[in-house]
Amino acid sequence: MIKTSVKSANVLKYKTDCLVLFWPEKKPAGILKQIDGLLNGALGAAYKSKRFEGKLNQTFQQSARGVMGANSILVVGLGKEKEIQAEQIRQAAGTAAKTAEKTRHGKVAFSLDEKEAGKPGKSKGGKTGSPVAEALAEGALLGLYHFDLYKSEDKDNPPSRIKEITLLAPSPSKVTAWQRGAAQARKLAEAVMATRDLMHHPSNTATPTYLANAARRIARKHKITCKILNRSDMEKLKMGSLLGVAQGSHEPPKFIVLEYKGGKKGDAPVAIVGKGITFDTGGISLKPGAGMDEMKFDMSGGAVTLGTLQAVASLKLKVNVVGIVPATENMPGGSAIKPGDILTASNGKTIEVLNTDAEGRLILADALVYAQRYKPKAIIDLATLTGAVIVALGHLAAAVVGTDDKLIEKLIASGTETGERLWQLPLYEEFEKAMKSDIADLKNIATGGIGAGTVTGAAFLKPFTGDYPWAHLDIAGTAWTSNEKPYVPKGGSGYGVRLLIDYLKNL
Ligand code: BES
Ligand code: ZN
Ligand code: ZN
């Protein structure tokens, strides 16, 4: 993990390889004006010629050798002054860190005067941490994420990697607050990166057993209890829906339960449930070959659940949280379920399986029933459930569907705050009716052209949530990305961890 430190220093004299400065959309002012003077007007000229205007994530590099302490400066745009919030700072920091790394800097220092930083919001790191430092560290650490575990070392041409980040606090009196903000960011970033790691492992590594062991590891390191149910335990609980999906695979299914008790004894917990399909072939309703490799990411909801529990515990949040991950592969084979088969879930409801590729909802059904035993104050599930959500929202927001508007409102607000956007879709009664089967209680896909694939998926889940406030997040479009964003490199994003932590902090 990259080293982070906070120092108070004179920005003009601070000795470093690469000094990052932030610039809102206006001509150089404040410290930038001073630096412009030292650089013979290079910044002002760049602004005049529109080579650099301070647009969000725009960059400008310039040698400063001999005139400043730093060898070079990297200026990053923050966008319109009025619009600067934590998200803009995270993005600019991520862009800066990646740009510095691409230009083969090993160390980088960030300087951002809080007066320039707009309204980055309350620090999620308690009342005493600097929200600016938190956003800077979060954006930089997340932007610099790499997953190289399966690559052989190239001794002649090693990849460029930043090893150390220094945040320059604007004054000595701010150092403590900046350290607190940076420490918060680090804990959260570690959890997001652990989530991304779980996602990136191929399915021949990240099996249900691997996820269960990862959960055990998290529990051992933090104050969390961990329970892993095996196939026979699931049989005793009559989890016929989950076991139906698992029966086509040689990999044993695991049902992972993590309990974190940071709140008052007896306080109802928040239950987080994550889809843990470690590979989705579609089963007998086989998926086409092109792009099927991406279905190793079908356990993203599960990974986010584990990552969120890690973050909740390492940040010592004063809440009770339960994480539940039903984990299995979805495989075709001689013992796999077939279209038309009927399964019985642990609440006694019978399900006609019309498409074995709609397996996420089948495993979630038993997990949601299990969540009810905690009498939770809310159930939040995350799942790469439908391709349809990508049609609706692309890769820019996840869909939220549920039974409790207050819960949904809070989640949407956390999504906006963290840049992990959510958009609500309506759970009309007609969609619930569309999930009724002719010969069983429910069918796992809607037939007859009602459309709305994302909402019908959610409508199937509702009968398994009891009367508990429930929100379903369809993260199929946001869990991984093929075009990188400022602080989300290509691949697994870890979308959901930061959103849920913000929600839990605000409880
Ligand atoms: N894991 C997939 C959903 C998915 C698709 C995630 C594309 C990410 C990208 C899920 O299990 C699935 O196959 N859903 C089907 C449901 C359909 C059969 C009703 C889908 O979306 O096509
Ligand atoms: Zn599927
Ligand atoms: Zn799936």
Q: What is the pLDDT of residues 364-386, one digit of tens each?
A: 999 999 999 999 999 999 999 99
Instruction: Say whether pLDDT at 121 is over 80.
Output: no
Instruction: Say whether pLDDT at 400 is over 60.
Output: yes
CA–CA distance, 312 with 505 (Å, rounded to integer)? 9
pLDDT average, residue stretch 30-58: 96
Q: Nearest C-alpha to atom 22 of ligand 1 is from which residue?
A: 387
Tokens of 69: 């302490």
| Closest residue by Cα to residue 403 from 429, 436, 364 | 429
CB atoms within 10 A of CB 225: 11
pLDDT tens readout for residues 180-201: 999 999 999 999 999 999 999 9
Q: Which ligand is nearest to the CA of 457?
A: 1
Tokens of 434: 């569309």
In the numeric block, the tokens 């309703």 are attached to 285
Instruction: Say whether pLDDT at 120 is over 90.
Output: no
Q: How confident is the model at residue 123 (pLDDT cuts 50, 70, 90)?
A: low
Q: Nearest C-alpha to atom 7 of ligand 1 is from which residue?
A: 387
In the DSSP assignment, the letter for residue 174 is G
Q: Give the pLDDT confidence score for residue 122 in this predicted structure.
A: 60
Q: How far lies 160's CA from each of 17, 58, 62, 75, 97, in Å?
A: 14, 21, 20, 20, 12
Tokens of 276: 């843990």
In the DSSP assignment, the letter for residue 158 is P
CA–CA distance, 51 with 20 (Å, rounded to integer)? 18
In the DSSP assignment, the letter for residue 488 is B
Q: Give the pLDDT confidence score for residue 117 in this predicted structure.
A: 77
Instruction: Say whether pLDDT at 52 is over 70.
Output: yes
What separation in Å is there between the alpha carbon of 329 and the centre of ligand 3? 9
CB atoms within 10 A of CB 59: 19
CA–CA distance, 248 with 337 (Å, rounded to integer)? 7
Q: How confident is the model at residue 298 (pLDDT cuts 50, 70, 90)?
A: very high
Evaluate whether 420 touches 499 at the Cβ level (below 8 Å).
yes
Tell me the best of 357, 456, 493 to mutate to test the pocket of ligand 1, counting ligand atoms within 8 Å of each CB and taking the most.
Answer: 357
pLDDT tens readout for residues 133-149: 999 999 999 999 999 99
- DSSP alpha helix (H) spans, 208-328: 208-221, 231-236, 240-246, 300-314
Evaluate whether 73 touches 96 at the Cβ level (below 8 Å).
no
pLDDT tens readout for residues 72-116: 999 999 999 999 999 999 999 999 999 999 999 999 999 998 887
Q: Give the pLDDT confidence score for residue 443 in this predicted structure.
A: 98
In the numeric block, the tokens 């069918």 are attached to 443
- Please list the active-site residues: 287, 361
CA–CA distance, 477 with 481 (Å, rounded to integer)? 8
pLDDT tens readout for residues 304-343: 999 999 999 999 999 999 999 999 999 999 999 999 999 9
What separation in Å is there between the alpha carbon of 467 and the centre of ligand 1? 27
Q: How confident is the model at residue 1 (pLDDT cuts 50, 70, 90)?
A: confident
| Closest residue by Cα to residue 68 from 105, 46, 116, 35 | 35
Global pTM reads 0.98
- Across-strand partners of 21? 75, 111
Q: Which ligand is nearest to the CA of 292?
A: 1
What separation in Å is there between the alpha carbon of 58 and the centre of ligand 3? 37
Closest ligand 1 atom to 453 CA: 19
Radius of gyration (C-alpha) of the chain in whole angstroms: 24
pLDDT tens readout for residues 238-290: 999 999 999 999 999 999 999 999 999 999 999 999 999 999 999 999 999 99
Evaluate whether 238 touches 347 at the Cβ level (below 8 Å).
no
What separation in Å is there between the alpha carbon of 360 and the centre of ligand 3? 5
Q: Nearest C-alpha to atom 16 of ligand 1 is from which residue?
A: 358
Q: What is the separation of C-alpha 231 from the centre of its chain, rounded to a whole number of angstroms?
A: 29
Closest ligand 1 atom to 295 CA: 1
Q: How far lies 493's CA from each of 114, 204, 344, in Å?
A: 28, 20, 34
CA–CA distance, 198 with 190 (Å, rounded to integer)? 12
Q: Nearest C-alpha to atom 14 of ligand 1 is from which residue?
A: 386
Residue 325 main-chain phi, psi, to 5 deg: -130, 105
pLDDT average, residue stretch 419-433: 98
pLDDT tens readout for residues 447-494: 999 999 999 999 999 999 999 999 999 999 999 999 999 999 999 999
Q: How confident is the model at residue 125 (pLDDT cuts 50, 70, 90)?
A: low
Q: Which ligand is nearest to the CA of 476?
A: 1
Instruction: Say whether pLDDT at 127 is over 80.
Output: no
Evaluate whether 357 touches 285 at the Cβ level (below 8 Å).
yes
Q: Cβ < 6 Å from ligand 1: which residues? A: 280, 298, 355, 357-360, 384-388, 445, 453, 476
CA–CA distance, 443 with 349 (Å, rounded to integer)? 11
What separation in Å is there between the alpha carbon of 457 and the centre of ligand 2? 11
Instruction: Say whether pLDDT at 227 is over 60.
Output: yes
Instruction: Say whether pLDDT at 118 is over 80.
Output: no
Residues, CB-to-ion distance under 5 Å, ligand 3: 277, 280, 298, 360
